[in-house]
Structure 1
Amino acid sequence: MTVISMVTPTVRRPDGLVVAARSLFRQQGVDHARLELVVVDNDPAASARAVVEHLAAEAPFPVRYVHEPEPGVANARNAALAVAQGEFVAFLDDDEEAPPGWLAALLAIQARFQADVVFGPVRGRAPPRVVRHRAYLERFFSREGPSESGAIEHYYGCGNSLLRRAALPHPLRPFSSVRNHIGGEDDLLFGQMKASGARFAWAAEAWVWEDPVPARLTLRYALPRAFAYGQGPTAAAAARTPPDWLGVAGWMTQGLVQASVFGALAAVKWAVRSPNFAPTADKAARGLGKTLWFGPFKIEFYGRSSGGVRLP
């Protein structure tokens, strides 16, 4: 019997973990006898153990608890794959909530297009008390894609995705530890899979909610994160074997132009207190990231300050 492993990495987010797990318990259109949930606790103190034990008692399928004490986003995802039994692995982060038809929609698109990885939309959701820059912040934490399901040439992030294990370059540790603290471990993996001929698909109906923690619903968090996102394509070109230095130069040049144009426009909008300042500043930050992608400019969002991985 084909088993589907649903994976939720977590660190010190008990409330979000409960919401995510219970949304998985309510999945419809899939035989629960084929399912399992793997929760990876990346807090060195193993703070999620009691929560997972409580959830396991109410789950309609097996729940596996994994403690990965070594902080790092790649470590957490690899620890899940080391114990997951599934031929397919679906990732749902601990700040996400899946509607009842989510998993069935991912599986249907995988079967239809024989895809190695299927991605779905993410809808950012801010609590009512967030007023300033609300529209921008909800869009920032969202993932938009094609309006209809189908095969795609590019890839997205690991949150809200379905992977066919046989297509992974390594069945147990496909995520690179070099990205443990800066993120982008999924971009590195999917870029490697694309180069090997992997098939990607988009499942427009397989959407999930994302509920960012309140501390992230500010420009002080979002703009540095936009800068880090901008670093992604340039860093990926440099990480190839051999390095794609022509690609690096192209991304850096594009980033310099983007940062200059949108940086100047953002300054004007800030001076006149334009309500549309945040999206323009975001574009400038991403452009700057494409240019300043190396060494001391790398931003560590994972594992250092909190003692554990903080998954986006």
Structure 2
Amino acid sequence: MGDVAIIIPTLRRPDSLTRALRSVFAQTGVTERIAAVIVVDNDPLASASSTIDSLRPESPWPLVYVSEPTPGVARARNAGLAATDAPLIAFLDDDEAASTGWLAALLAAQARTGADAVFGPITGRAPEAKDWLKPYLERFFGREGPAETGLIDHPWGCGNSLLVRANALPGDAPFSAAADQSGGEDDILFAALEARGGRFGWAADARVEEFAPTHRATLDYALTRAFAYGQGPSQTAAAARNWPGVARWMVIGAGQAAVFGAASAALTVINSPRRAQMYDRTARGIGKLFWMKGFEPRFYGAAEVARLDRA
């Protein structure tokens, strides 16, 4: 039996899920390491079951279908974990496609660094975005880190990651259900891991591509996400009852909103494509100020199901 399970949560993205799974099936150098590929269907209608049935003959490893009918991003991740006892867990999102050496690079980086959580680079793709927005959006949906594999001093998100279960994923439901609708379940998880002395690693060669769907490849969506990302530091400090920390982040946010807001206005006047990046930084600053309950955007769970029902 292998020691790694790959978990892919999904919600009504059959074509994207197919692309993600076929990229997993093409992994090289890890044949004996993979215990299972687990797809967690977070659709109340269980719509991904037919996709899994059609792709199962292509999989070199057990392809496990899990239905989690209550929409929620944390709930979906926890359901995937409940379906395996593998000591190493790799997460791939259903809008991502992994390079052929992706998992081998994550595993090599973890072995080399001893990190509890290892992350890899993401190339953002927004093929349907407006020309002036495309460079910003592709940076937004991507991520880059050090040129070399090694330990890093901060975590990234769960998409494209490898976690040591015993250290990084404690308990039966390590992802907080409080983040089911808004996201940020990985931020909460990794903040707790860092507080316990956990270590983070970077796998420079573990690259995936992330394809932004049409409804996400817009300025409105990206800025709403930027606002939510900005809320993260303030919310993390508040969850720890670190009120001086909350105050510090709010002061930082006020400064960012003022400085980048002014830059945004100037770049908008001259119609510069760089204005999108300044809008982003302004939104992150405002998020640090408005971190309280009632201001969290809803990207996942019931909100996403409702959007899909309207589409």
| Counterpart code for 1:7 | I
Residues 74-89 of structure 1: matches in 2 within 5 Å?
Answer: 74-89=74-89
SS in 1 for 2:36: strand
Structure 1 position 12 matched with structure 2 position 12: yes
Instruction: Show the counterpart of 1:154.
Output: 154
Instruction: Show the counterpart of 1:233.
Output: 233
Q: TM-score, normalised by structure 2?
A: 0.95
Separation in 1, partners of 2:293, 2:78: 25
Kindly state the Cα deviation for residue 307 of structure 1 after the two structures are TM-superposed.
2.2
* Aligned CA distance change for structure 1 residues 115 and 309 (closer, same or farther; 3 Å): farther
Separation in 1, partners of 2:101, 2:169: 29
SS in 2 for 1:138: helix
Instruction: Show the counterpart of 1:246.
Output: 244
* Aligned CA distance change for structure 1 residues 33 and 170 (closer, same or farther; 3 Å): closer
| Counterpart code for 1:31 | T
Kindly state the Cα deviation for residue 172 of structure 1 after the two structures are TM-superposed.
2.8
Equivalent pair of 1:181/1:309 in contact (CA under 8 Å): no
Instruction: Show the counterpart of 1:201.
Output: 201
Equivalent pair of 2:129/2:217 in contact (CA under 8 Å): no
SS in 1 for 2:151: strand
* 1:138-190 per-position Cα deviation (integer Å, ceiling 9, x unaligned): 00001111111111121110000000111135243100000111111001001
* Aligned CA distance change for structure 1 residues 24 and 135 (closer, same or farther; 3 Å): same
| Counterpart code for 2:287 | G
* 1:52-110 per-position Cα deviation (integer Å, ceiling 9, x unaligned): 11111211110110000111110000000001231100000000000110000000010
Structure 1 position 300 matched with structure 2 position 308: no
Instruction: Show the counterpart of 2:253.
Output: 255
1:276 aligned to 258, 274, 277, which one?
274
| Counterpart code for 1:216 | R
SS in 2 for 1:6: strand
Aligned length: 308
Instruction: Show the counterpart of 2:183.
Output: 183
Structure 1 position 53 matched with structure 2 position 53: yes
Separation in 1, partners of 2:102, 2:171: 24
Instruction: Show the counterpart of 1:42.
Output: 42
Equivalent pair of 1:28/1:100 in contact (CA under 8 Å): yes
Kindly state the Cα deviation for residue 113 of structure 1 after the two structures are TM-superposed.
1.1
Identity of aligned residues (%): 52
Q: RMSD value over aligned CA atoms?
A: 1.6
SS in 1 for 2:9: strand
| Counterpart code for 1:193 | L
Separation in 1, partners of 2:226, 2:127: 21
Equivalent pair of 1:167/1:198 in contact (CA under 8 Å): yes
SS in 1 for 2:8: strand
Q: TM-score, normalised by structure 1?
A: 0.95
| Counterpart code for 2:148 | E
Equivalent pair of 1:303/1:309 in contact (CA under 8 Å): no
Equivalent pair of 1:36/1:62 in contact (CA under 8 Å): yes
Equivalent pair of 1:43/1:308 in contact (CA under 8 Å): no
Separation in 1, partners of 2:19, 2:31: 21
| Counterpart code for 2:253 | G
Unaligned ranges ≥5, structure 2:
none
* Aligned CA distance change for structure 1 residues 249 and 129 (closer, same or farther; 3 Å): closer
Equivalent pair of 2:120/2:160 in contact (CA under 8 Å): yes
Kindly state the Cα deviation for residue 130 of structure 1 after the two structures are TM-superposed.
4.0
Separation in 1, partners of 2:227, 2:44: 29
Equivalent pair of 2:91/2:158 in contact (CA under 8 Å): yes
Separation in 2, partners of 1:169, 1:108: 20
Instruction: Show the counterpart of 2:262.
Output: 264
Kindly state the Cα deviation for residue 296 of structure 1 after the two structures are TM-superposed.
2.2
Separation in 2, partners of 1:248, 1:145: 27
SS in 2 for 1:12: coil
Separation in 1, partners of 2:106, 2:188: 22
